[in-house]
Amino acid sequence: MRTGRIRINSVTIGLFLLIIAACKGGNEEQLPVDFVWDRVACEECKMALSDRHYSVQVIHPNGQAHFFDDIGCAILWLQRQPWQDKARTWVNDVKTAEWIEASKANWTDGDPQTPMGYGFAATLTPVENALDYETVVKRMVAGNTLVNENLKKHLGTGHQQPRIGKQ
């Protein structure tokens, strides 16, 4: 009788350790993960990720992916995270829809097709007057976006999206 009980406990413990290893391991390199398009919502604005040219994944240092429909949403959300400097950000290449690292992309400003209207698009293809990712972040934080330009144009200079940080 005792032998059977020890065997069951050993199997149970083995399965438990296997489950823990499976949950703990994975995505230490902070790579983009597969997901079902139109079934995942942006963590900032709650819109579905459906455009394969502008979506973003911010990967937590523990490997967990956070999804966004626009780089602007990702930047606004990431600014509130204490681990923001340890995150790895991946964006879709606007020309190929492939995942590329945000920090390695050539960024353009003024793209009217971006889901939330911030206007920033990434590509690995060389572009004229390319911005680096740090500049895109600074512009987002300062509120220097296409959506704010359009608000000013249509509503006057007193209307602007809120900025991040101390005001």
Domain boundaries, the chain: 56-155
Write down the pTM of the prediction.
0.76
Residue of higher predicted confidence among 137 and 23: 137
Q: What is the pLDDT of residues 96-117, one digit of tens each?
A: 999 999 999 999 999 999 999 9
The predicted-structure confidence for 50-85, as pLDDT tens digits, reads as follows 999 999 999 999 999 999 999 999 999 999 999 999
Residue 63 CA: distances (Å) to CA of 29, 46, 76, 166: 7, 21, 20, 30
90-115 CB burial, b ≥16 within 10 A, e <16: bbbbbeeeebbbbeebbbbbebeebb
Q: What is the pLDDT of residue 153?
A: 66
pLDDT recorded at residue 27? 87
Percent of residues, the chain, with pLDDT higher than 70? 74
If one compares 99 and 167, the residue with the highest pLDDT of the two is 99
Task: Tell which residue, 138, 121, 139, has the closest CA to residue 130.
Answer: 121
Q: Which of 76, 146, 136, 80 is nearest to 104 (CA)?
A: 136
CA 147 to CA 50: how far, in whole Å?
Answer: 20
Q: pLDDT (tens digit, 9 = 90+) per residue, 125-148?
A: 999 999 999 999 999 999 888 877
Pairing of strands 56-59, 88-92: antiparallel
Please give the distance of CA 77 from its chain centroid, rounded to a whole number. 9
In tens, the pLDDT along 33-45 reads 999 999 999 999 9
Query: Strands 99-101 and 88-92, how do they pair?
Result: antiparallel
